[in-house]
Amino acid sequence: MRRRMTVVFALALILGVAASQGEWRMRIHKGATVEEHAVVEIDSVTFYETVAPAMVSVPAGVFTMGDGSAYCGMQQHEVTLTRAFYLGQREVTNREYLEAVQWAYDHGYVTATTTSVRDNLDGSTEELLDLDAEGSEIQFDGAGSFYLRESPSSGAQSAYPEGYAPADQPVKEVTWYGAARYCDWRSLQAGLPRAYQHSGDWVCNGGDPYSAQGYRLPTDAEWEYAAQFDDERIYPWGNEAPDCSRANYNPNPYCVGWTSPVGSYPDAPAALGLSDMAGNVWEWCNDWWVCSLGTTPVTDPVGPASGAMRVLRGGTWSYRGDYLRCAYRVNIIYPDDSYDVVGFRVSGATVSQGEWRIRIHKGATVEQHAVAEVDSLTFYETLAPPMVTVPAGVFTMGDGVAYCGTQEHEVTLTRDFYLGQHEVTNQEYLEAVQWAYDHGYVTATTGSVRDNLDGSTQELLDLDGYCEIAFSGGVFTVRDAGYGINPDHPVIEVTWCGAAAYCDWLSLQAGLSRAYNHSTWQCNGGDPYGATGYRLPTDAEWEYAAQFDDERIYPWGNEAADCARANFWPSDPCVGWTSPVGSYPDAPGELGLSDMAGNVWEWCNDWWVCDAGTASVTDPPGPESGSLRIFRGGSWNNIYDYYLRCASRDDYNPYLSTYNIGFRPSRTIGAP
């Protein structure tokens, strides 16, 4: 049974988010560690199980090696294997090798071109996999990713005219070094010592393969012992003559004419449960080649100490039936050669069932995480709510009537800016403060959220009373404060500092400089218009956007206020509480803002002064200091409609909060 699954998230569809609309990011929680990645920088995220094909347990035992007839297997002698071992239930597949070589490439253990994979350990540059051969069904794109060949070779096309799926076919065009190297990748993945030295003669475990802790190729003796277990049969399935129901070989004509999916030919199912030990592909063994093994009994034989060729076993799809004998041994190619009739299976003293891992590709960088160590992986959009573009321009600030807006004067705004399309919602603030809490930028109790930047401990959000956000056990949630669960209503009980801090959280998420110093709460050194990060709109920006671009009395126009145009409280309440943001679109033919009048008052950046004067000004930042901050727009419980006028201005203590004040963010476009 296949015991792995690979899932790749395609990220291209979510990369085109404008800077003002937030940014898609990926967050990985591992205990106390939190990692953040910008999705736009990620090529792929893959969940995969480390490559551990199914293996069977082979008990220690004694058997007669050689059968008196097979090529280079005529000499019979007693062999004792003192150690039980695991052997691959089937030959390694293209899919399994691809997953392993991708892991090795990501870790720098191999190098690759579109034509070849080469070793990169112990100074070795041996070829492991010939990608240029027609029989190779694994390819490399030259940019960091391996994939299965889409168009089959001519041999595969001929054998499978109705279509060919390479994934579960045995890997081919792999050198002996590539087979041994695969075993080492599996060892490294499982935290085991690798068996092979990748220089000199590629000796296995110092010349003692049986005691290697890591994965390796089976010895010549182990392979034959398993193939004829435990009755010294002629063929892996028994003593019956070969035919196409028992093995994929070439009785002329071919049984298949190409490889078969692994597991197609189970051998002796009542014994070990192996498959394909005869036919399909030759299988590399650990031993150097020698034809004459002698007749002397041996224990745990390791084969010659050196040589020019390595042992191959089992026959292949293109060879005749006598090659399928359990005792048949050949040396048809050198260990640095590959062929479309040669593959392998793994062996080892221990067995790993695989481990689920996460692979993150970011250009030339690859990051790996063990799934068992990951608490959560979250894809999310950074917390900037929808914003609209407000072009630079000139307007008359004040209307001669509104509270603290009676003095009219010309204001020039020289920079385009973004402004929140609607007031920040409970859900939007919740997501941002959760992010800030997770990153240590705030502290929280069940009653309060406080700042934790620049030495500040100012209260940002009062969680008692009417606030519709709650905190418990490290998690923020939306709560019923007496008016239902309202994630899309404007956040309330937020201090001016809490509104400014929210803007800074957006900036930090987006990799921008935060606008506010949290010890002085000054915005960008006194120049809010030059801030690169998110901030609160200035007093002038707010009024300019509200009456854009005809200096109207109310955000919707000059018609008198009523409950169809704003949530406020004339003789009877329009609603009696906040409304979902966007319920009252303002001048839909203009900027596309909503709720600029009513619902909740909105904090502005400026310190409060009632007398704005009559002198013309450019990019006014307001007073340098003060004790109160400006808010704008009126709220759900205002009984006077003049608070809804674009020019109406009022003030509140920036360190306090209440149930009818919220905010919307702003950001200068093109600030350096």
pLDDT at residue 4 above 90? no
Query: 175: pLDDT confidence band, cut at 50, 70 and 90?
Result: very high
CA 218 to the chain's CA centroid: 36
Q: Are residues 83 and 12 in the same domain?
A: no
Q: If you search the block for the tokens 């078969």, which residue do you land on?
A: 260
Higher pLDDT, 33 or 614: 614
Confidence band, pLDDT 50/70/90 cuts, at residue 286: very high
Amino acid 340: pLDDT: 95
Position 15 scores a pLDDT of 33
Same domain, 316 and 359: no
Mean pLDDT of 264-274: 82
The mean predicted confidence, pLDDT, of the chain is: 90
Spatial CA neighbour of 500 closest among 393, 630, 399? 630
**pLDDT bracket for residue 1 (50, 70, 90):** very low
Q: Count up the domains in the chain and report the number.
A: 3
Residues 234 and 302 in one domain: yes
Burial class (CB in 10 A: 0-12, 13-18, 19+), 605: buried
pLDDT exceeds 50 at position 630 = yes
Do 74 and 31 lie in a common domain? Answer: no
Instruction: Look at residue 247 and tell me if it is in a domain.
Output: yes
Q: By mean pLDDT, which of 293-302, 375-384, 468-477, 610-619 is the weakest?
A: 375-384
The DSSP secondary structure of 66-117, one letter per residue, reads --SSSTT--S-EEEEE-S-EEEESSPPBHHHHHHHHHHHHHTTSEEE-SSEE
Are 124 and 253 part of one and the same domain?
A: yes
* 169 is a domain residue: yes
Q: Are residues 415 and 304 in the same domain?
A: no
- In which domain, by residue range, is 17 found? 7-50+355-381
Same domain membership, residue 398 and residue 332: no
pTM exceeds 0.75: no
The CATH number of whichever domain residue 507 belongs to comes to: 3.90.1580.10
pLDDT exceeds cutoff 70 at 352:
no
Residues 363 and 464 reside in one and the same domain: no
Closest alpha carbon to 434 in 504, 383, 510, 384: 383
Q: Please give the residue that has the higher pLDDT: either 326 or 379.
A: 326
Task: Identify whether residues 421 and 529 lie together within a single domain.
Answer: yes
- pLDDT-based confidence at 390, cuts 50/70/90? very high
Distance, CA of 376 to CA of 208 (rounded, Å):
43
Identify the CA nearest to 279 among candidates 295, 258, 306. Answer: 258
Query: What confidence tier does 18 reach under pLDDT thresholds 50, 70, 90?
Result: very low
pLDDT surpasses 70 at 16: no
Range with the lowest mean pLDDT among 89-103, 361-375, 391-405?
A: 361-375
581 located within any domain: yes
Please tell me which residue, 398 or 383, carries the higher pLDDT value.
Answer: 398
Residue with tokens 């004509």: 253
Whether 405 shows a pLDDT value over 60: the answer reads: yes
Q: Are residues 141 and 91 in the same domain?
A: yes
Residue 35 domain flag: yes
Q: What does the angle CA 505 – CA 510 – CA 513 come to, to the nearest 5 degrees?
A: 70
Which is more confident, 352 or 474?
474
| Token couple for 507 | 């900036």
Instruction: Tell me if 2 is assigned to some domain.
Output: no
CB 431 within 8 A of CB 379: no
Residue 103 counted as domain residue: yes
Residues 407 and 312 in one domain: no
Beta-sheet pairing, 475-478 with 601-607 = unpaired
* Within a domain: 1: no
The pLDDT of residue 27? 77
Would you state the pLDDT for residue 52? 59
Angle at CA of residue 197, ends 356 and 369, nearest 5°: 20
Task: Look at residue 603 and tell me if it is in a domain.
Answer: yes
Query: What is the average pLDDT across 329-343?
Result: 95
Q: Identify the weakest region by mean pLDDT among 9-13, 18-22, 413-417, 530-534.
A: 9-13
Whether 656 has a pLDDT exceeding 60, the answer reads yes
Average pLDDT for 600-613: 96
Give the pLDDT confidence score for residue 12 in this predicted structure.
33
Confidence at 355, pLDDT banded by 50, 70, 90: low
CATH number of the domain that residue 33 is part of: 2.30.30
Average pLDDT over residues 67-80: 93
Statement to judge: residues 554 and 591 lie in one domain: yes
Kindly tell me if the per-residue pLDDT of 361 is higher than 90. Answer: no
